[in-house]
Amino acid sequence: MTPVHFAFSATFLLGLTGLAFHRTHLLSALLCLEGMMLSLFMALSLWTLELNSTNFSAAPMLLLAFSACEASAGLALLVATARTHGTDRLQNLNLLQC
């Protein structure tokens, strides 16, 4: 494994462990998801450059577009939960109390 591949794998795993173990606020979970998507974008871009193929050149841009949609939906949920519940703590978000 090259150092570049190790760096992208480590970045993705750090985002995954942050998402799994540090789930107190919705904003921190969204930031971990965004870091994971950024590492996937960089790895996919590097993979298409290594292949020297034009068939996969649109894949990183498609992933970036889906990542932007995911981020906007997450921020909309963050604003909605902050308005209704008064906080973004994930422990206070109980679907049975709505």
CA–CA distance, 31 with 29 (Å, rounded to integer): 5
Cβ atoms of 14 and 35 within 8 Å: the answer is: yes
Helix (H, G, I), strand (E, B) or coil at 38: helix
Cβ atoms of 32 and 15 closer than 8 Å: yes
**88 confidence band (pLDDT: 50, 70, 90):** confident
Q: What's the pTM value of the predicted model, to 2 decimals?
A: 0.83
Long-range CB contact pairs, 17-23, < 8 A, 24+: 23/90
Average pLDDT over residues 6-12: 91
Q: How far apart are CA 67 and CA 97, in angstroms?
A: 31
Mean pLDDT of the residues in the chain: 87
**Average pLDDT of span 2-31:** 90
Residue type, 53: S
**Domains of the chain and any CATH numbers:** 25-88 (1.10.287.3510)
